[in-house]
Structure 1
Amino acid sequence: MSGFSLVQFMCEGGWGMYPVLAAGSAALGAAVRYALAPDRGKLAFTAALSVTTVIATITGVWTNVGAVMSFLEDPARASDAEITRTLFQGLKEAGRPGTLAGPLLTLVAIVVSVGVLRSARIGAKGGEGEKSAKGTESRSVMA
């Protein structure tokens, strides 16, 4: 097996790679913003971009599979002797948008998990502070 080429990888995946890359990168950026400063609005935006990435991935893979099948239906392009090898190569390339989206969405999920943890810690600290402040206030009123 030769070395990995990102350019070849992107070319094999076809036009559907670009929406996946754009939406996935935006989702990762939004996840980082959420992790740094947890806020429900940022979390909702990250979720929406993640769903957009999934939709772009499904569309890219499905379009690629259709292109492979369209290519294979013409006997002039793929002879019966080569059809199996061509099918497997085409399906390998058709799955490239999913191969790109998988790691991107995994990173998004990991970064969002950090944000959720930070949000829970911030909420726990804020909740304790409010309880102790209220408790102090009610004690001073009673005294």
Structure 2
Amino acid sequence: MQEAFTEGGWGMYPTTLAGFALILTCLQYARRPEARYVPLMLSLGLVTLMAGALGFASGIISVLRHYTGAGSDAPTSELYVGFYESLHNVRLALIMSTLGAIVASVGALRLARGAAVVSRAAVD
């Protein structure tokens, strides 16, 4: 995992920060499902995905700049390695967003069960 983080470059840092903030917010929502957490979860999920995409795009731009430089005789395999390393940002963003969504689903389930109990009590 540390090797993947290093290979991903600087884009891994904002992706990690946004991802951890997302997961912490989702954990809070899972503990206490309140509507005030929903906009924050959505925006942090979007920021996490965007940070991963930005890291990927920056990596691809860097690879292409070095690959197509004047007099470059770099083999095509170096281009593939650059794409591989840049994709670590996207992978981290997807992992963090998926974990956040799973944790948030626990809160949504608790909210739905609580609403069902309240509605049954109102009927009785």
Per the normalisation by structure 1, the TM-score is: 0.80
Query: Which of these residues, 112, 117, 122, is aligned with residue 120 of structure 1?
Result: 112
Q: Please point out which of 9, 13, 27 is paired with 2:4.
A: 9
2:60 alignment partner in structure 1:
65
CA–CA separation in structure 2 for the residues paired with 1:43 and 1:129 = 26
Distance in 2, Cα, partners of 1:83 & 1:68:
12
- Structure 1: unaligned runs, 5 residues or longer: 133-143
Map Cα deviations across residues 46-70 of structure 1 (whole Å, 9 max, x no partner).
1110011111111111111000001
What SS does structure 2 have at the residue aligned with 1:15?
Answer: helix
Q: CA RMSD in A?
A: 1.4
CA distance in 1, matches of 2:76, 2:60: 14
How far apart in 2 are the matches of 1:105 and 1:15?
A: 19
Identity, % of aligned positions: 31
Query: What is the aligned length?
Result: 124
* Partners of 1:47 and 1:85 in 2: CA distance: 38
Q: Using CA pairs under 8 Å that are at least 6 residues apart, name the structure with larger relative contact order, 1 or 2.
A: 2
Distance 1:130 1:67 in 2: 62
Which of 73, 93, 104 matches 1:101? 93
The question of whether the paired residues in 1 share the 8 Å contact of 2:48 and 2:96 is answered with no
* Structure 2: 5+ residue stretches without partners: none
- Which of the pair is proportionally richer in helix? 2
Letter in 2 for 1:102: L
What amino acid does structure 2 have at the position aligned with 1:92? Answer: Y
TM-score by structure 2 length?
0.92
Q: Secondary structure at the match of 1:38?
A: coil
Instruction: Indicate if the aligned counterparts of 2:22 and 2:41 stay in contact, CA closer than 8 A.
Output: yes
Taking the TM superposition and a 5 Å limit, the aligned residue runs for 1:22-41 are 22-41=17-36
